[in-house]
Structure 1
Amino acid sequence: MLHIIDDEEVMRDSLAWLARSRSIEAVAYENAEAFLSYLDKPSAPDTSGECILLDVRMPAMSGIALFGILEAKGLTQHMPVIFLTGHGDVPMAVDALKKGAFDFFEKPFNDNKLMDRVQEALAASKEARGRAATQARLSLLSTREKEVLNLILEGKMNKVIANELGISMRTVEVHRAHIFDKMQVKTAVELARMLK
């Protein structure tokens, strides 16, 4: 999902059309406050990734101010921000990039280059969300399950794991089942792929 935040309706419509031409779902907001209202509503995160195209200069709250709020909430990793500006301000661009902005485009911009960067940002968002989901699942594991997990990842059989940990093979089987359930996988191969 691409979030377009720009106070100019023509720019919002143009960017939404560009996104649709690349099969990217887009939602437009006329100002920073409208986007913050969207964020306040409970919703499931878009697992395909999210990206924000953010105009720097807007009435009331600027894009830079909104970026600061997003950064404080820890959202910029999961929702990469690409700044757009009609006013070339190199120091502002450098500062935004240092603070974690994904990119900075000056208007008028090359449509294809912008959409290429949007697709890269969406891919980065999807990857960051996947890592966060994996970490959340790992946090559900007990200390013993983590020990069993590490030995599974080393390719060790249940009998060897039981021997190394000084527990019964049945206990290893129970831990293995809990690990697979909590990590939402069916095989050790899936588990290894998830954690590589």
Structure 2
Amino acid sequence: MAEQIYLVDDDPDVRDAVAFLLESDGLAVATFAEPQALLDRVDPGSRGCLVLDVRLPQMDGLELLDALRARSVDMPVVFISGHGDIPMAVRAVQAGALDFLEKPFRDEVLLEKVRNGLELDRYRRDHHAERAEVERRLDELTPRETEIMEGMLQGKLNKVIAHDLDISARTVEVHRANVLEKLHARNSSDMVRMVLSTDRYRDWLL
């Protein structure tokens, strides 16, 4: 799915002006006058950046953000508001917003924030795909290879792993080589980095 800017603002003049600005910068924009239209359009596979007015019909921008997160839509969000205040800005950032801009804002500022949002979304998705691939490779390990790998994660020497599992050091070496090959790791350090980046092992050593 191609990346896109999803703009929600109930003021048609603001909506048209912001859409024109973003499209003039070469960005694809989808506009919505109310939150439900956005909720009907996006899904967890949607890519890009959200630009949300804080004050909207049906629900405010923060409630919309909660509804999106509940549906596993996790694109970066830039909030805009004509009636912003410090508490509202703090709430927006605490809710996970990338930034909060008060109207009127300078065109270049909004463009910078949106570009940052797109870059962040690409980064997240690239790393999510990488982690998912490592998870898939972990599933290909045999139970014994998983035991060897977990010993490697703990920094144990081959002879210590062999003693713990009551097998020969040579057997450990063979399984260790299989682990690196199956995970497509260049060496033990690369393997540790890859495995600890996954949700399965992220907190394993804590």
Q: Distance in 1 between matches of 2:20 and 2:148?
A: 51
Q: Distance in 2 between matches of 1:35 and 1:11?
A: 17
- Give the stretch that moved more between structures: 86-95 or 8-17: 8-17
Bigger CA radius of gyration: 2
Q: Distance in 2 between matches of 1:72 and 1:115?
A: 27
Q: Indicate which of 87, 90, 93 corresponds to 2:83.
A: 87
- Which whole-Å deviations, capped at 9, do the CAs of 1:28-78 have from their partners, x for residues lacking one? 1121100100125xx8443xxx11000111122221210121233443xx4
Structure with bigger RCO (C-alpha 8 Å, 6+ apart): 1
TM-score by length of 1: 0.71
- State the superposition RMSD in angstroms: 3.5
* Aligned residue in 2 for 1:52: 50
Identity of aligned residues (%): 30
* Aligned residue in 1 for 2:37: 34
Q: Indicate which of 2, 8, 11 corresponds to 2:5.
A: 2
* Aligned residue in 2 for 1:179: 183
Q: Distance in 2 between matches of 1:57 and 1:89?
A: 12
Q: Distance in 2 between matches of 1:169 and 1:88?
A: 62
Residue correspondences, number:
176
The ranges of structure 1 where at least 4 consecutive aligned residues each deviate by more than 6 angstroms after the TM superposition are 168-174
**8 Å contact from structure 1 (residues 32, 66) kept in 2:** yes
Where do residues 45-124 of structure 1 align in structure 2 (5 Å cutoff)?
A: 45-46=46-47, 50-75=48-73, 78-124=74-120
Partner-residue secondary structure (3-state), 1:139: helix
**8 Å contact from structure 2 (residues 82, 102) kept in 1:** yes
- Which whole-Å deviations, capped at 9, do the CAs of 1:67-101 have from their partners, x for residues lacking one? 121233443xx411111111122211111112211
- Give the stretch that moved more between structures: 98-107 or 130-139: 130-139
* Aligned residue in 1 for 2:14: 11
* Aligned residue in 1 for 2:132: 136
Q: Distance in 2 between matches of 1:147 and 1:171?
A: 7
TM-score by length of 2: 0.67
- Which whole-Å deviations, capped at 9, do the CAs of 1:109-132 have from their partners, x for residues lacking one? 011011101111111111111221
Relative distance call for 1:83 and 1:146 in structure 2 (3 A) is farther
Q: Distance in 2 between matches of 1:175 and 1:88?
A: 54
Structure 2 gaps, min length 5: 153-157, 163-168, 198-206
